[in-house]
Structure 1
Amino acid sequence: MRKKKWRFWKRLACFHFSRPRAGKSEKAQDEKVEQSEKLEQAGSSRCSDDQISLQNITCDVHQEAPSSKVLPSSEEQPRKEHLQKCVEGNLSEGEIKSPLTEQQDSEVATSSESDLITRTRSLEIGLTALANKGPSSPHIIELLDWQEFPDHYVMVLQCPSPCENLFDYLERCGGILDENFARHVMQQVVEAADKCCSRGVLHRDIKLENLLVNTDNLDVTLIDFGCGDLLHEMPYSTFSGTEEYCPPEYSETGKYHGRPATVFSLGVVLYTLVCGYYPDHTDLDKIKNWLWYLPSLSKECSHLINACLHPNPEERMPLDRLLLHDWFNVIPKVVETRAPCYGHTGSAL
């Protein structure tokens, strides 16, 4: 009988659950993967526990980036530790504030770009708030509120309705979009990426899964800043994101700059939308000499893909000049007002 009781209590002792605070994790690969998995498991339970029933908001914690990962380098670690201290520094234990509420109380702010991050322990919350700083952007997910708990945090984000991520939407359309519709999507994605960089935020994981499409009006929204960082002019030596969108210079030199890497990821998005698959090394070999093209695409579209995916970051088109490319300005912008893959009729914008 004593042995049975001992086994019972021994088994019971194994049922101990804990979640690490997202803002205190190191950016090492194993810890990042473990943290993402635990936050994904916790996301659905948090939403139900808080009884969030409004239809226009959603609780989102790393739910659309299953293949994102960190490719670490020891040279980046000291800067990460310094940034983490900034993130953890300015809130006392148990204190809850909303950076958006503080922004409304003081319209004229002269603080540095990192102030919104130093008000919270979570880097993701801080970057999302910083991307929302200033006039609202229709193509960046809006942070409505956030709250921290001893072992997790909750973000309340605006959710377009009805919507689905661009990866699923592309599958519904047969895996490929025509140029007119791809142009409509890319114009919004480029605007969102440029706005983030202008506000000091490097998203670093712009991909199909992190773009929401409103299936009624085809508006596109950029989400999930969990792999992001503060934008600076110095080269980065750690890549946090999705491998298919990783700039080739990181594989060759172990370093990359924020804006050229963003342009490369935008090029991968465009390539995938109009080709239906990811670019590979044979494509990059042709792009290196500006020779890549597809007969089914316009010469302007092929040129823009060469300009975004060039292996040499110095030869890529600058982010703030992408929307000036002929593909966005010369060809008439005519798309359906509803998704063509859903069988709706449409009209010119």
Structure 2
Amino acid sequence: MDKLQAMQIFRSVVDEGGFAAAARALNMSPAGVTRYMSDLESDVGARLLQRTTRKMSLTEAGEAYLDRVRHILDDVEDARAVVQAHTQEVAGVLRIVTSPLLATHLLAPVVAGFRQLHPRVTFDVSVEVMGPRSTAVNDCDIKLLTAPTDFNANLIARPIITTVGVLCASPQYLQDRPPLLRPEDLKAHDCMAFRHPERRAGNIQLTNPDQDGVTVEINLQPSFQVNHLDTILRATLDGAGISSQPLNLVAQYLNDGRLVRVLSPWSSGQLTLYAALPSRKFLPTRTQAFVEYLTERTRNSVHSALARAAEQREAAERKGR
């Protein structure tokens, strides 16, 4: 027997004035209502209703039980309303875990805009080096991470955007430097690289989507290599040379002119930005709203950066004719 449903049926029988009326109100059969009432009385060990052919009335035990039942059912409705307020109202604390790079260049730039739309949302962000000991998804609302497009982990992960690695440099660096018309031209430039424990830092593979995905590998002697991506980006912005960066992270710098994409449309691989979630069901509205906002802002920024790169490429080609 579902005790909560039995309580609801008991209340309805009293409020509607009879079994048949309660059955109609609850869209149940009269036999079903009778069975629930019989089971409820057996469970509490007392008769709750006096039934005659002419009328129905509460027993003394029934009156005392009904009073408590009303309070219990009211509390249940209040609890449901509280939960629905958390899931339907864009308010509350949004707990996010992400890497230092994503926190600085992806998350931080969207906080102000999101809070202008939803001022009742506050952020609690944990910045961690992602690894096996990083915070579990169940301990936060959103975990932002990047992974290869064939990423397959035991996570509920919603893709935000699939992006490519792009070669970029600051306008200051590119002044009076040799032209960049083909991948081999990189050898005449200061190139920076991420030092990966399993790969030689000087090797870079580039793919050209305009040439049926043709791939070339260039062997470079990096002028600067480090095992920290944010350091390479900072050095690139300050004019130290050319580096490969995820397009979604540097789109804002490409759009405002602090960086210029070089050797477009060549790219250095694909990555997908994911929002890992603790559950598919009953997500707070603040979580849904932020994921949608981040997705829209990121995709708009990337599309603008791609359009700007195409314009710069066409201008360079016209200049070279």
Tell me the TM-score range normalised by the shorter chain. under 0.3
Identify which of structures 1 and 2 has the higher relative contact order when contacts are C-alpha pairs closer than 8 Å and 6+ apart. 2
Which structure's CA Rg is the greater one? Answer: 2
Name the TM-score, length of structure 2 as normaliser. 0.24
* Larger relative strand fraction: 2
